[in-house]
Amino acid sequence: MPSSVNPQTKKVLIAIGGGIAAYKVCELVSTLFKSGVEVRVILTRSAEKFITPLTLATLSRHRAYTDDDFWQPIYSRPLHIELGEWADLLVIAPLTANTLAKLAYGMGDNLLTNTVLASTCPVLLAPAMNTDMWEQVAVQRNWRQLLTDCRFYGMETGSGLLACDRIGHGRMAEPPEIFVYIQSLLHTQGKRDLAGKQVLISAGGTREYLDPVRFIGNPSTGKMGLALAQAALHRGAKVTLVHCPASWDVPLGVEGIGVISAADMQQVMLKYLANADIIVMSAAVADVKPRDYSNEKLPKRSLPENLPLTPVPDIVAELGKRKQPHQYLIGFAAQTGDIITPAKEKLQRKKLDAIVANPIDKPDSGFGSDNNQAVFLDISGREIEIPACSKLEMAHYLFDLIAESN
């Protein structure tokens, strides 16, 4: 069975730059602490103009460090050395144009930059600035240059209304997105084992409509597919996520393609199959659809007592027929009761490389839950139990297991 992320408490150092997005980092620090992560915080002198050390100290349950601490001889060892060696992961949010330039050229003139230079852990960057600033040739050059260093992981900026009233790119990634990336990096310890790979993922429950209002569907929310997309992206893959209607947004950096029915999903999956290295069919696809469709809503009195049904395309079976030897196809089997026997049968019949059998009759597991549990089975005969964990953690376990089989 794969090991858990790590039974030891993880240590994350948050470095806050001077920008209005600094206020959002309060939510991130609080979320990390509540998740059991040990948190330390550094504020640049400019960051102190937006948020106080007291606020961050209260949320992290530990004093927040500033440049005033850096220049005081009150520590047994240099503070930047202590912090750099302490951290399992360093997060800089918001990353300003000024700090970006310093990091790109290896400068160390404050506590933040010296701590980066004195550390060897992965560094996650969440830039935030005005659109014109972000799009400057020099800023983009510095960004590209910094990301050539394998220690650094860059989050894409979002677009929307900025604090300067400009509408455009430069918005810092939202705290929940940063938190998920942190969880990934703590699991992988920064490895990019999917770099250069194209991962094709399906997510959510298909809808087979009887009329414009009524449809045959299932309770799938697509959260497992979302977690798989996030995990693959954070491990360096180029990700395409084919998803049914969902309440969540497609992550920045992932190509999202929305579909409704099984036929829609099949068309898109087959279109993208040829270029994919790993295909994960986590969507809950309907088995049947109404035989007849009405373009207008049917009056209740006109609904048939016995609804004629017809099969929908078996997408994963078709993918199994068409996949090439270098491609890895993994399916899902949501089951009640005995989950192993039907999963083994599906694994062989649909020519999969592996299948994830997950119980939907267990508490806090399966459809709609943020957590999951499963048994991983593959064609080599492995049968590995994945205990209850978050869906993101399960996604990483699955990619760990896929890597072991290649």
Give strand ranges (E) for 272-324: 278-281, 288-290, 309-311
CATH number at residue 336: 3.40.50.10300
Q: Residue 5 domain-assigned?
A: no
Predicted local confidence at residue 1, as pLDDT: 32
Q: Residue 2 domain-assigned?
A: no
Among the listed residues 26, 121, 150, 164, the single catalytic one is 164
Mean pLDDT of the chain: 93
> pTM of this prediction?
0.92
pLDDT 10s digits, 195-247: 999 999 999 999 999 999 999 999 999 999 999 999 999 999 999 999 999 99
Identify the weakest region by mean pLDDT among 155-169, 277-291, 314-328: 155-169
Which of 188, 222, 251 represents a domain boundary (last residue)? 188
Q: Residue 4 domain-assigned?
A: no
For residue 7, pLDDT over 60 is answered with: no
For residue 8, pLDDT over 90 is answered with: no
Predicted local confidence at residue 76, as pLDDT: 72
pLDDT 10s digits, 352-397: 999 999 988 888 787 888 999 999 999 999 999 999 999 999 999 9
Predicted local confidence at residue 170, as pLDDT: 80
Which of 163, 188, 213 represents a domain boundary (last residue)? 188
User: Comparing 3 with 315, which gets the higher pLDDT?
Assistant: 315
Whether residue 215 sits in one domain with residue 176 = no
Residue 164 falls in the annotated catalytic set? yes
Whether residue 63 sits in one domain with residue 181 = yes
- Strands 208-209 and 215-216 turn out to be antiparallel
Predicted local confidence at residue 74, as pLDDT: 65
Q: Residue 6 domain-assigned?
A: no
For residue 325, pLDDT over 80 is answered with: yes
Whether residue 335 sits in one domain with residue 272 = yes
Confidence of residue 3 (pLDDT cuts 50, 70, 90): very low
DSSP letters, 167-201, are EEEEEPPPHHHHHHHHHHHHHHTT--TTTT-EEEE
- Domain residues for the domain of 74 are 11-188
Q: Residue 1 domain-assigned?
A: no
Counting residues of the chain whose pLDDT is more than 70, the rounded percentage is 97
Whether residue 89 sits in one domain with residue 68 = yes
How far does the chain reach from its first CA to its final CA, in angstroms? 17
Predicted local confidence at residue 366, as pLDDT: 78
Whether residue 288 sits in one domain with residue 245 = yes
Predicted local confidence at residue 159, as pLDDT: 77
Query: For residue 50, which of 25, 80, 14, 13 has the smallest C-alpha distance?
Result: 25
For residue 90, pLDDT over 80 is answered with: yes
Q: Residue 350 domain-assigned?
A: yes
Whether residue 244 sits in one domain with residue 171 = no
Work out the burial of residue 242: count CB atoms within 10 Å of its CB; fewer than 13 is exposed, 13-18 middle, 19 or more buried. Answer: buried
For residue 143, pLDDT over 50 is answered with: yes
Whether residue 165 sits in one domain with residue 134 = yes
Confidence of residue 2 (pLDDT cuts 50, 70, 90): very low
Predicted local confidence at residue 362, as pLDDT: 82
Q: What whole-number distance in Å separates Cα of residue 358 and Cα of residue 280?
A: 14
Whether residue 203 sits in one domain with residue 184 = no
- Domains contained in the chain, number: 2
pLDDT 10s digits, 19-53: 999 999 999 999 999 999 999 999 999 999 999 99
Which of 129, 164, 188 represents a domain boundary (last residue)? 188
Q: Residue 162 domain-assigned?
A: yes
CATH number at residue 112: 3.40.50.1950
Whether residue 244 sits in one domain with residue 331 = yes
Q: Residue 193 domain-assigned?
A: no
Whether residue 131 sits in one domain with residue 216 = no
Whether residue 162 sits in one domain with residue 202 = no
What values do phi and psi take at 200, rounded to 5?
Answer: -110, 125
Whether residue 169 sits in one domain with residue 47 = yes
Predicted local confidence at residue 247, as pLDDT: 92
Q: What whole-number distance in Å separates Cα of residue 234 and Cα of residue 123?
A: 13
For residue 4, pLDDT over 70 is answered with: no
pLDDT 10s digits, 98-140: 999 999 999 999 999 999 999 999 999 999 998 889 999 999 9
pLDDT 10s digits, 329-360: 999 998 889 999 999 999 999 999 999 999 88
